[in-house]
Amino acid sequence: MQPIFSRHEDIDKMAFMNWRMSEDSAISHFISLADGYISSAVILAKQCLISNSDKKADILIFPILTNANHGIELYLKALMWMANQMLKSKAKIEGRHNIAQIFRMLKSKVKALGGAVELRNFEEGMVELENYLEELVVKIEATDKNDKMDFARYPISKDYEGHFYTDRMGNVEVDLENFVRRFEVINDKLRWIAYHFYDISADEEQDP
């Protein structure tokens, strides 16, 4: 049996795991993976929109949302790391998996870096993301005790309680066209600001 981690004679039938990992920077690796996770979520959703007569979207929605949320987490942690560098903090990545909480922490870093004006500009660029995070927290019924950010990875919470979609009499729906439209914007905005931060932090490292 051919190993999974092996070469194919057709270059277009291979994936190069280190192709985007050539730079000696863990932060750039975070950004590359973040882009990959959100892009994969959008691609899967688009495939469901092309043909869903077999109702594959009903089961693929879980990896779609898992990848979308993990991509956000990676972007935010990369931004947090770079913000800490610019603030001359010894901290690197902060926060665990609660992306709404990490986003709030990041906004405080942005304000510390550039004041109220910079924070306002950041929030204007992140309006789609912030709206999604606000909707998500309400939908998954997150609490201070249990953020429930694992809702798309496991059918039950860490307290062995069913997530919001397992104990409903009616349907729990996701608009896939809306998902694609919004997450293409979210990915573009996060990618842009991540590389913007990356350029600034790189310039600061070069300053005498």
pLDDT by residue (tens digit) across 126-152?
A: 999 999 999 999 999 888 788 999 999
Residue 205 pLDDT: 57
> Angle CA(71)–CA(55)–CA(15) in degrees, nearest 5?
40
From the centroid of its chain, how far is CA 11?
Answer: 29
C-alpha to C-alpha distances, 113 to 47, 88, 109, nearest whole angstrom: 41, 11, 6
Q: How confident is the model at residue 167 (pLDDT cuts 50, 70, 90)?
A: confident
- Looking at residue 22, its pLDDT comes to 67
Reported residue count of the chain is 208
What confidence tier does 191 reach under pLDDT thresholds 50, 70, 90?
A: very high
> DSSP class of residue 7?
-
pTM of the model: 0.93
Inside any domain, residue 87: yes
In a domain, 110, yes or no: yes
pLDDT band at 95 (very low <50, low <70, confident <90, very high): confident
**Under 8 Å between Cβ of 54 and 24:** no
Q: How many domains does the chain have?
A: 1
pLDDT reading at 17 higher than 60: yes
Structural domain includes residue 6: no
Q: Does 153 reside within a domain?
A: yes
Tokens 């665990």 identify what position?
96
Are residues 97 and 85 in contact, defined by beta-carbon separation less than 8 angstroms? no
Is there a domain that residue 12 lies in?
Answer: no
Does residue 13 fall inside a structural domain?
A: no
pLDDT, mean over the chain: 91
The pLDDT tens digits of the residues spanning 62-72 come to: 999 999 999 99
In a domain, 33, yes or no: yes
Q: Which domain holds residue 179?
A: 26-206
Contacts (Cβ under 8 Å, ≥6 apart) of 31: 74, 75, 78, 191, 194, 195, 198
Measure the CA–CA gap between 165 and 173, rounded to whole angstroms: 9
Q: So what's the pLDDT on residue 208?
A: 44
Helix, strand, coil tally for the chain in percent (to 5):
60, 0, 35
